[in-house]
Amino acid sequence: MRQSGPVYDFDEVLGRCTRSAVHLEMRDSYAVDNESGRFAQWKSGHRYDPADRASWWRPWHDLIASTVHRGVAVRRARIVSEPVSEYIRFEYDGTFMNVRAGELVRWLPRRNASDLALPGNDFWVFDGTIVRFGHFTGDGQYTGEEWTEQPAVAKLCTEAFDAVWERATPHEEFTI
């Protein structure tokens, strides 16, 4: 796995957040082969029942719920090609889980992002100061991460996220 710059533990960084954690996703597929079978199950027709929380709630949801409970705004924006890929349909169908945990999620069609200056990789920004870039292969396999506290990079990513967020459609109003 690729790692450059300082090394952080994601859960610890999120646990220290006091204001915001934002995540920008810009790929149409993520590690399809490594979805712990969830993508394959979805492709074969399985859908999680929002009313059966025990069947889909995972440690990730606990982490987000506790973060939001502390007063931290957790926002996720997804830039997607249209028509959306099968993987994005899978993500869309499961986004209710993120929302139930307390994340705010918005979607932006890629054609509406053409005039935005965006970093080359997906990222998280924590309290506007710590950035975590995710690195992926062309077919969506995760290859590592890169962390930085460079103020110019944090500013670039924060401004890029805010520009996407302003244009994007809330999950509850977005249709695919």
Residue whose C-alpha is closest to residue 118's, from 146, 91, 81, 158 = 158
Predicted confidence at residue 34, as pLDDT, reads 53
pLDDT in tens, 40-99: 899 999 999 999 999 999 999 999 999 999 999 999 999 999 999 999 999 999 999 999
* Mean pLDDT confidence for 107-120: 98
125 falls in which pLDDT band (50, 70, 90)? very high
Both tokens of 86, joined, read 């099968």
User: Can you tell me the distance from the alpha carbon of 73 to that of 102, in angstroms, rounded to the nearest whole number?
Assistant: 8
127 falls in which pLDDT band (50, 70, 90)? very high
User: Can you tell me the distance from the alpha carbon of 53 to that of 103, in angstroms, rounded to the nearest whole number?
Assistant: 16
State yes or no: pLDDT of 5 exceeds 70.
Answer: no
> For residues 85 and 30, is the Cβ–Cβ distance under 8 A?
no
pLDDT in tens, 155-172: 999 999 999 999 999 999
